[in-house]
């Protein structure tokens, strides 16, 4: 028997699959949530004889997609039909912090070039303002600019912390870059902070996301879910 969260995730996966149409090009975010829902989405698509192409944001999620016999693809056109992803935090205006898995650059590229974004999160990740509870903003930076990027983040009022791997060495993204997990005070205007971070020379991408339109599927422990939407 499934626990409440697993049952909730299955319902969400079915709801998302139901909106997909044959031939769609779909962006696929990384992380444990995507790995959990993809098999159900794949199963539901097969029931309807619907085939889509997935654009994965990491090797990890590409392997999950291939394990359930889903076709993976490069982003071979300028606009995706949908991106399905998770998030580390969601504020009351449906702005996001993402990048806990280190795939923020590729996730930002897909989300900035899609018609629709579907985000799946646990209810505990909902907050009034981003960075509440000391959740940090991942910032991907070129290794050559490690010191000036850290100083630039400090000048914005942030507290950057270089992400380390399991053995204590710097963590490198699949793009060969470093990540600074940066603590800010709760953010009143995420879109402004995102632009300020991106303006620092050497920053590749910011983990603040402000996609529109967006559907956020909130997974609850009691086996239910709710959908929050914003179009502009």
pLDDT tens digits, 2-47: 688 999 999 999 999 999 999 999 999 999 999 999 999 999 999 9
CA distance 65 to 88: 22
Evaluate if pTM is beyond 0.85.
yes
Where in the chain are the domains? 4-125+210-230, 132-207
CA-wise closest residue to 78 among 35, 109, 103: 109
Of 2.120.10.30, 1.10.1200.10, 3.40.50.1000, 3.30.70.260, the CATH number of 132-207 is 3.30.70.260
Spatial separation of the C-alpha atoms in residues 186 and 210, rounded to whole Å: 16
Catalytically annotated residue among 10, 107, 196, 205: 107
Residue 107 is a catalytic residue: yes
| Tokens matching residue 12 | 């969400």
| Cα gap 196→27, rounded to integer Å | 27
Class of domain 4-125+210-230: alpha beta
Q: Residue 170: its pLDDT value, please?
A: 97
pLDDT tens-digit map of 185-197: 999 999 999 999 9
């Amino acid at each position: 028997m499934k626990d409440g969260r697993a049952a909730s995730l299955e319902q969400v996966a079915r709801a998302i699959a139901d909106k997909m149409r044959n031939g769609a090009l779909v962006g696929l975010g990384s992380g444990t949530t995507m790995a959990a829902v993809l098999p159900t989405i794949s199963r539901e698509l097969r029931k309807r004889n619907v085939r889509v192409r997935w654009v994965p944001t990491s090797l990890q999620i590409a392997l999950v997609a291939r394990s359930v016999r889903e076709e993976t693809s490069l982003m071979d056109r300028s606009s995706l039909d949908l991106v399905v992803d998770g998030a580390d935090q969601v504020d009351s205006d449906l702005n996001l912090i993402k990048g806990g898995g280190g795939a923020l650059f590729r996730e930002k590229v897909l989300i900035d070039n899609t018609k629709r974004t579907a985000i799946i999160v646990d209810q505990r990740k909902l907050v009034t303002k981003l960075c509440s509870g000391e959740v940090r903003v991942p910032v991907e930076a070129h290794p050559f600019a490690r010191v000036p990027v850290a100083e630039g983040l400090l000048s914005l009022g942030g507290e950057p912390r270089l992400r380390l791997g399991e053995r204590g060495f710097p963590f490198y993204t699949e793009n060969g870059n470093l990540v600074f997990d940066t603590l800010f005070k709760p953010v009143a205007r995420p879109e402004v902070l995102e632009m300020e971070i991106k303006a620092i020379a050497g920053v590749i991408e910011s983990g603040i996301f402000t996609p529109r339109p967006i559907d956020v599927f909130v997974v609850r422990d009691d086996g239910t879910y709710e959908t929050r939407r914003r179009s502009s």
